[in-house]
Amino acid sequence: MGGEATELTRLSAAEIGIAVAAGDVSAVEVTQAHLDRIVAVEPELHAFLHVAGIGALAAAEAVDRRRAAGERLGPLAGVPLALKDVLTTEDMPTTCGSKILAGWRPPYDATVTRRLRDAGVIILGKTNMDEFAMGSSTENSAFGTSRNPWDRSRVPGGSSGGSSAAVAGYEAPLGIGTDTGGSIRQPAAVCGIVGMKPTYGGSSRYGLVAFASSLDTPGPLARTVLDAALLHEAFSGHDPRDATSVNAPVPPVVAAARQADVAGLRIGVVSELSGEGFQSGVQSKFTEAVELLESLGAKVTEVSCPHFRYALPAYYLIAPSEASSNLARFDAMRYGLRVGDDGTRSADEVMSLTRAAGFGPEVKRRIMLGTYALSSGYYDAYYGKAQQVRTLICRDFDAAFDQVDVLVSPTTPTTAFPIGERVDDPMAMYLADLCTIPSDLAMNAAISVPCGLAPEDGLPVGLQVMAPALADDRTYRVAAALEAALEQRWGGPLLAQAPALGESKGR
């Protein structure tokens, strides 16, 4: 991969924010360095669907003017960010990785987008994703697959694979993803970075193009736990425009990330989320990380959550059912793609032709699954039963959190798999989210933090920390403590061990 990452692109978001606020570097210089990096590596990573160079530099100039005028800047002012193309942006297209929205420019910003702009964050552009966030590899994008910076023959995870690849590839120090069944944590794990799913309702869904409304959650991707916490705090909080928004204070995530102490904390290892079916290198690195947490003073016990084994089938009834309803709005009548409108066809025919041409195979599969599950005579047997299982999973979490403060597991059963390996096997693809789905169904908080490289393939492994709803700070506390201890052992961050971000791999 050409275009070596520079000193500016290797800085953490926290370091950039401090340097910009102090006047040691301008926001324009930082932004230009990242835009240069994007030009150099995008032909190989394909992390972005749209790069907004002119707009990003203009936003950076505005930050520099504010500093020159003596205004006190926030901790992320002047820090570049890669935004998943499922959040609306009035000055850029929003496609959701789908042909049916190719070129669509929304008339408004999502709340997350607006809060980022207000914080002085520089949005570099919109990142690639599985179409309508349906996938675990970014291979379902209508605009081509993103690639893993560690090995470009491998997937970067999904559905937020573009954002995870951009952050791991030093194209941006920060990224925004969305997590419906693991779409932040799973790509973070396989790209060797940090990914956080906040408590459902803790981050606004206003302007987030819906996949599954009771599950979708925007969250941060970053190279450090502190960076993720700073970003989490910047865009979170109650939003009256989102009926599912939680009217409660944002948990003290930044303070927790700086605490980095697990002494006396009770950590439960979920017995159902490890062992058989897990890659040996994933299991070994996870076990080593848990032992390290115990050596730091945590009290580790094994906890059983028996209904977690039913989370995957329950999710693949609930999420497609909600998708079937949400995606009905893409009807060729109001916006987006329109096929066959030659004046001779009825509206129903145009709608049918447009949806056939505009949606990809995985989106069609889930629409059909959801429509069937909601249909008369099958609703109680499928969707209703799945919701009952969801309740049982929530009860498992409640019982577990009566015993421990947080739960841990591997984030994914395997490291990043080769591009093309699972595209014809939906069940194998779905299993990538085996460990992450329970937290989405229960609407609680969960983070993935790097815990090493699997010895058999040298690819990143993630450890997942799960906490009760609105206890997001607990996940940051554990993740920061593990990060600090591991970086001391490694002599630096995990990404420093990447093969020059792929120069010797995947050529």
Active site residues: 84, 159, 183
- CB 284, CB 251: distance < 8 Å: no
Distances (CA, A) of 401 to 85, 200, 397: 35, 18, 6
Helix (H), strand (E) counts: the chain: 17, 11
The three-point CA angle 449-50-175 to 5° equals 15
Residue type, 326: N
SS3 category, 269: strand
Estimate the crossing angle of helix 361-374 against helix 311-326, to 10 degrees. Answer: 100
Residue 375: which of 327, 330, 315, 324 has the closest Cα? 324
Q: How far apart are CA 502 and CA 395, in angstroms?
A: 44
Q: How far apart are CA 122 and CA 156, in angstroms?
A: 23
User: DSSP alpha helices (H): ranges in 46-77?
Assistant: 53-68
Q: How far apart are CA 465 and CA 185, in angstroms?
A: 10
Q: How far apart are CA 80 and CA 15, in angstroms?
A: 12
Q: Please list, in sequence order, all residues whose beta carbon lies within 8 angstroms of the beta carbon of residue 154, skipping any fewer than 6 positions away.
A: 147, 148, 190, 415, 416, 417, 418, 419, 459, 506
What is the DSSP code (8-state) at residue 419?
T
The three-point CA angle 483-253-218 to 5° equals 95
Strand partners, 50: 126
Residue 445: which of 237, 224, 185, 226 has the closest Cα? 185
Residue type, 126: K
- CB 432, CB 154: distance < 8 Å: no
- CB 487, CB 496: distance < 8 Å: no
Strand partners, 274: none
Strand partners, 125: 51, 82
**Residues 217-244, buried b or exposed e (16+ Cβ, 10 A)?**
bbbbbbbbbbbbbbbbbbbbbebeebee
Q: How far apart are CA 395 and CA 461, in angstroms?
A: 29
